[in-house]
Amino acid sequence: MSFRCIDAVFKGSHQRGPALLVLLALADYANDEGKCWPSMPTLAEKCRMKTARSVIDALAPLRTSGEVVVHKNAGKHGQNVYQVAVARLERQAAERAQAAAKKSSLVKDSSLVNESALVQVTAKGSEEIFAQPAKDSSPKPSVNHQEEPSVDGASAASACAATALTPSAPSTAPVSAAVNDEGNGAPTPRLVYIAPPPYDGQNEGAIPARATVSLSKSFDLPADWGHDAVAIGWKASAVLREAEKFKQFWTVGKGAGTRRSLKGWRQTWSNWLTKAEKINPNAASGGTRA
């Protein structure tokens, strides 16, 4: 078993389903150069496939993508030799990491997701705001620059009499529906928290460290989680099968809707593996319960 090969598959492969399962099985057999020569029945048994035909079908997209090269009858006993394209997978892993870093940078720069993101709701609509300038705590007193009118006593008395005898016209000024704390008639802003997206295994940069999120239905096991499992003795193919059970339980099963931090979800995966081994001591090796 080559940890380098398994690491390259976890981080760089674009495959899913049976193709990824066969690729992980080959990586489990391969040396650091990516070469191995298991028989078709051996691969079928390791991948829990009923027939060798299923393995051949799963190999097709691997050969098309260039992630596996098959040298027919090149083994010592005439068997096929499989070459896992480790360098290609490592290059794809680097490209994926760069794309993820770029996406994370764009998210942070545009403030699309922010732990303290707020929405200011006004009478005209809603506008996202992430910072507001501090108000001056000691405003200058307003000054009345209008000169006092000069009127004599007779004019003042006449004006008062006219005002008392003339009925007041109804005001046409608009009446504010809400008055804020400052009393200027503007509606009081309502602050709303913008929830981060569900975790799909790749979008760590878009989720604040202390945020709690659910798992996305498109969740793929992160490479680091796969390494955790392999490091404690799990076979790569067994990890993939257990990851599918984990995904189904927490996205559409009894655990659907559960929210945890990213650190909490990683610990949940570790606990899941421990429980799986208690239920089936052969789970890590890919065997069935005795």
> Coil, strand or helix: which one is 184?
coil
Q: Are residues 63 and 119 in the same domain?
A: no
Q: Are residues 122 and 89 in the same domain?
A: no
Q: In angstroms, rounded to a whole number, what is the distance separating the alpha carbons of residues 65 and 59?
A: 10
Domain contains 57: yes
Q: Are residues 185 and 265 in the same domain?
A: no
Q: In angstroms, rounded to a whole number, what is the distance separating the alpha carbons of residues 226 and 143?
A: 70
Q: Are residues 190 and 232 in the same domain?
A: no
Looking at 53, 72, 106, the residue that finishes a domain is: 106
The per-residue pLDDT for 104 is: 66
The per-residue pLDDT for 13 is: 87
Domain contains 202: yes
> Residue 275 — left, alpha, or beta (φ > 0 → left; ψ -120 to 50 → alpha)?
alpha
- Quote the number of domains for the chain: 3
Residue 68 belongs to domain spanning: 1-106
The per-residue pLDDT for 260 is: 92
Closest to 88 measured CA to CA, from 207, 173, 151, 5: 5
Q: Are residues 8 and 101 in the same domain?
A: yes
Q: Are residues 185 and 272 in the same domain?
A: no
- Digit-coded pLDDT (tens) for 273-284: 999 988 888 888
Q: Are residues 245 and 185 in the same domain?
A: no
Q: Are residues 249 and 191 in the same domain?
A: no
Q: Are residues 19 and 88 in the same domain?
A: yes
The per-residue pLDDT for 114 is: 46
| Residues of the chain under the 50 pLDDT cut | 110-134, 145, 149, 151, 153-154, 156-157, 159-166, 169-179, 290
Domain contains 162: no
Q: Are residues 50 and 125 in the same domain?
A: no
The per-residue pLDDT for 190 is: 65
pTM here?
0.47
> Coil, strand or helix: which one is 141?
coil
The per-residue pLDDT for 90 is: 85
Domain contains 144: no
Domain contains 160: no
The per-residue pLDDT for 246 is: 93
